[in-house]
Structure 1
Amino acid sequence: MESISSQRGQKKLMLEGYLYCKEKDLNGKTIWKCDRWKKLSCHARIHVRENKVLKRVNTHNHAGDAARCEALKVSAEIKSKAVNTRCDSQQIIGEALANITEAVKGQMATINSMRRNIRRLRNRGKGGKVEAQTPEDKSTEDGASSDGEDFVLFDNHEHENRVVIFGTRAYLPLLSEVKDWYAEGSIQSVSHSFCQLYTIYVIKDGVSLPVVFCLVSDKCEATYIAVCRALKNLVPDLRPESILMDFEIGAINAFEKEFPDTRLKGCFSHFTRNILRTIQLNGLKKKYDSDNVFAKKMCMLAALAFVPGDDVERGFENLCSTLDADYSLENVLDHFEDTYVGRPGKIMRRRPKYKMEFWNMYSAVRQGALGTGMNYVLEGWHKALAEVVGLSHPTVKILESLTSGQSRNEKEDENGLKRLKIGSKYCDLDSKIEEIVKDYSRDNILEYLGRIASHFSL
């Protein structure tokens, strides 16, 4: 366990690849909560007395990130030297970055940002504390609500394969006008009657618009086929050119059958999450959280998505040869091979669970269509909705939330507001990956995978 000062001057604890911020003092002990409690709704906490963990409450809903922790330590060192020495900024930054791994560098701010921070600290006076930034302004405007009955576009009223589709008639034509869709399934266990909310978005004039919200009773292929057919009845002559979607196999099969000419692509953030889930199921999460070298190797596994399809098998085998695979890690590698590459047969590899063209991102990057930021922006919208819905009986509350949210969307759309802005860090990530992909060489696959893996975590 180690304490450190954050960029905002607040004390944080680092433990096993996680960061904690202070919640309160109670009965001679201090309660610390995960610092992702707001961003990721993580409710993990630890009770600490005299630098010893007395109790752990709840488990983290995300992976630890040893590289992020190390990056925070380096940032604190830069801050300390900026305040307490007369060294120039170039020297401070150079010394700080000299002996850190590429994974840690990938978590650091840009050189220009670090220089600005040093100047800002020194302008506030030597020994001055960094003031906490003002919290983001949260809009409390609810907007006018649409009529709930009109908002329900379709309901098949079946006990099995139940589907209810919400949306507004004004937005429906967008499914025909805009040829690239984004589909995201989220909010598990919505109610006793529905297990998932499945949303389809489009991007028009730089604005991401949720067009339809589909409550489904299960994740069977037949249920998603009912969704597709309902959409085709609501909007005749639907012909999307591409759909970026999660890895829900029932939805993939359904869209493939109902829209055979549409190009289906897997979302990279879901791809990395699936790999992390396999790591967790095989008891390797703690090792991933605390071992930088192992964590990077697992990120290199995910980086195979950026290798040309014809070279994925070669890259996978080369990467496996560098790993000291015990029983648990072999299970992870076997699962990846069965799911994404295909297990070797007598003549050729068997067909994997997901076609390579579905999850492989190499062609998308070469065409400038990676869109990492949009993946996370859309997931953020779903997490925000989950917070609104909460734990109360959600069937009515979901309708109220979606109705008021859609009305607000339409109002903002009329005013020309861009609601879901992609953060600059995601644009930077896409640019960095694009530059690396341009230099791809099949003779240096491991080096290539390592360079890609330095820019993301699972």
Structure 2
Amino acid sequence: MSGKSRVMSLRDREKFAHNGHLYTFERLDCTEKTKFWRCDKRIAQHCKARLHTSVETNEVVKEVNVHSHAPDDGRVEAAAICTSIMRQAQEAEARPEVIVKEAFQSLPFAARKKMPNKRAMWIRISRAIRKRTATGLPRAKPITRATIVVPKSYRTHKDGDGFLLYDSGLGDDDRILIFGRLSYGAWSIYMRNLVANATFDIKCPLFPHVFVLMAERGGFFIPVLFGLLPNKQESTYRHMFSALKQMWPELAPESIVVDFDRATMNALTAAFPRARVVGCFANLVRRMKMKLVEKDLLDKYNSDTEFAQSARMMMSLAFVPLDAVGRAFDEFSSESPKALRPILDWFEEEYIGFPNRFGGRRIPPFPPRLWSVYEKMSMGEDLTNDLVNAANRRMSFEFDATHSTTWQFVDSIRTLQEWGDQLYEDFACGKKPPKRRLHFVELDKRIHQAVLLFDSSRPVEFLRSMADNFAIEF
């Protein structure tokens, strides 16, 4: 096991294996994009070696200091095997000694020498099972969504407040579970501005998708709802939002920022017809990145400055007044490099609309009114919200880990809910959210000034100036 991978300690703490060494997780950096790890022999061997990994890719980005001890691939492999045995024993019906015996029989001789003795494993497993039983945690892994029985410990918080807000019920193959804090319904009438996110990549058995809803209070963005969903169909979202309105009948948002997903937008519009449902500019940029990857153009974007500027000019259409978007796109596309054509075709189909035979354009899945930021920028509002971006990174970090059971994933939701509770407490105490970084403040000032200077007779020149005002780094 000379490569790199994640393992869990017998205390269920995350570890990182790299080149024959094990590291324990220490903390995230200030941007929440990098994980800091330290050698797990820091006490026994006084080892000062450390490791930095990317939250997004899990790749090693930096090694700090040299280990004071030799690498041990056998120990790393044994740690991974112990983790597997512990999880299997806690989730299966067989006795611990039977599981350990069968696992040891299948191990190569070299790996057995590094393993703890069988009796020690039995004792540790028995302790873990007794602990889970005492706290009401399930032992067996549910086979299907329809057969899940939610334990008492996952229905309420420690303070007695409701944690499981909604369950579509046993026997439902398209089961929906909604978690949060029931008492938040008391201030749902003040949830005027919402941010929804359904793009998280999760590794959770039975529930492949999670939907997160955040509410703004005093500048803080507080997670108020976590929906475990069987799919991303519009009917599923409608079901979830209908349940939400029954729980919190006073919820009447004025604006909802959401990802560019037609099913989500349709369901939100149906549930909250008076709310202004708009797409997120940062998500629009991410979708362009995905399209660049799909068309094998990401390397060209990173190496060809002219091509990169043209791609940013296309994104700059979001800063053009709504009544001028069509003309600006036509003039820009006629002057854009040939290599950008696949991206332009995609953008025209999805966000502009192809020309029709009557001289107008077809209605695209995401018309300009859903992604234009001209109005908000001309009114002096921020292009993006640092706190929302930070919250999304925090949630991505929690959801990124592989969860062998649904309940382990719900544990990560509980962790995020506790974090949200702290944010709400800060708001209730009159604290102010962290100030924006000066770099983003200055960037928004430049964009505000540029937007006010838009000249409908020279749209391409405007797009070029906007592309020079912000960078998109992939």
Same fold (TM over 0.5): yes
Larger radius of gyration: 2
The answer as to whether partners of 2:224 and 2:420 remain within 8 angstroms in 1 is no
Report the Cα offset of residue 369 of structure 1: 3.2
Which residue number corresponds to residue 431 of structure 1?
445
The answer as to whether partners of 2:204 and 2:405 remain within 8 angstroms in 1 is yes
Given candidates 230, 236, 243, the residue that maps to 1:223 is 236
The question of 1:363 aligning with 2:378 is answered no
CA 1:308–1:161: 2 relative to 1, 3 Å: farther
The question of 1:414 aligning with 2:425 is answered yes
Letter in 1 for 2:471: F
Which residue number corresponds to residue 410 of structure 2?
399
CA 1:399–1:39: 2 relative to 1, 3 Å: closer
Report the Cα offset of residue 42 of structure 1: 5.0
The question of 1:43 aligning with 2:73 is answered no
Query: Larger relative contact order (C-alpha < 8 A, sep ≥ 6)?
Result: 1
- Of all paired residues, the percent bearing the same amino acid is 27
Distance in structure 1 (CA, Å) of the matches to 2:372 and 2:318: 4
Q: How does 1:3-402 map to 2 (within 5 A)?
A: 37-38=53-54, 40-43=56-59, 146=158, 150-157=162-169, 159-326=172-339, 329-347=340-358, 348-374=360-386, 375-387=388-400, 390-402=401-413
Distance in structure 2 (CA, Å) of the matches to 1:273 and 1:367: 25
The answer as to whether partners of 2:196 and 2:214 remain within 8 angstroms in 1 is yes
Larger mean CA deviation between 355-364 and 36-45 belongs to: 36-45
Distance in structure 2 (CA, Å) of the matches to 1:267 and 1:223: 22
Report the Cα offset of residue 395 of structure 1: 1.8
CA 1:231–1:406: 2 relative to 1, 3 Å: same
CA 1:453–1:203: 2 relative to 1, 3 Å: same
The answer as to whether partners of 1:183 and 1:243 remain within 8 angstroms in 2 is yes
Report the Cα offset of residue 402 of structure 1: 2.1
CA 1:308–1:412: 2 relative to 1, 3 Å: closer
SS of residue matched to 1:393:
coil
CA 1:453–1:173: 2 relative to 1, 3 Å: farther
Report the Cα offset of residue 189 of structure 1: 4.1
Report the Cα offset of residue 181 of structure 1: 0.7
Report the Cα offset of residue 204 of structure 1: 0.9
Report the Cα offset of residue 430 of structure 1: 2.4
Which residue number corresponds to residue 471 of structure 2?
456
Distance in structure 1 (CA, Å) of the matches to 2:412 and 2:55: 20
Q: Which deviations, in whole Å up to 9, do the C-alpha atoms of 1:303-349 show, x marking residues without a partner?
A: 101101111111111111222325xx322211110100000010121
Distance in structure 1 (CA, Å) of the matches to 2:256 and 2:365: 19
CA 1:36–1:450: 2 relative to 1, 3 Å: farther
Report the Cα offset of residue 382 of structure 1: 2.2
Report the Cα offset of residue 394 of structure 1: 5.0
CA RMSD across the alignment: 2.7
Report the Cα offset of residue 151 of structure 1: 0.8
Larger mean CA deviation between 198-207 and 370-379 belongs to: 370-379
Letter in 1 for 2:397: A
CA 1:248–1:151: 2 relative to 1, 3 Å: same
Distance in structure 2 (CA, Å) of the matches to 1:148 and 1:161: 28
CA 1:330–1:448: 2 relative to 1, 3 Å: same
CA 1:38–1:422: 2 relative to 1, 3 Å: farther
Distance in structure 2 (CA, Å) of the matches to 1:428 and 1:174: 35
With the length of structure 2 as denominator, give the TM-score of the two structures. 0.63
Report the Cα offset of residue 264 of structure 1: 0.7
Distance in structure 1 (CA, Å) of the matches to 2:161 and 2:217: 27
SS of residue matched to 1:354:
coil
Report the Cα offset of residue 242 of structure 1: 0.5
Report the Cα offset of residue 147 of structure 1: 6.6
CA 1:365–1:174: 2 relative to 1, 3 Å: farther
The answer as to whether partners of 1:148 and 1:400 remain within 8 angstroms in 2 is no
Distance in structure 1 (CA, Å) of the matches to 2:326 and 2:352: 7
Distance in structure 1 (CA, Å) of the matches to 2:467 and 2:444: 13
Distance in structure 1 (CA, Å) of the matches to 2:311 and 2:208: 31
Distance in structure 2 (CA, Å) of the matches to 1:263 and 1:37: 39
SS of residue matched to 2:363:
coil
SS of residue matched to 1:186:
coil
The unaligned stretches of length 5 or more in structure 2 are 1-36, 38-50, 63-155
With the length of structure 1 as denominator, give the TM-score of the two structures. 0.65
SS of residue matched to 1:237:
coil
Given candidates 436, 441, 444, the residue that maps to 2:455 is 441
Distance in structure 2 (CA, Å) of the matches to 1:39 and 1:429: 26
Q: How many residue pairs align between the two structures? A: 324
The unaligned stretches of length 5 or more in structure 1 are 1-22, 24-34, 47-143
Report the Cα offset of residue 148 of structure 1: 9.3
The answer as to whether partners of 2:279 and 2:371 remain within 8 angstroms in 1 is yes
Report the Cα offset of residue 243 of structure 1: 0.3
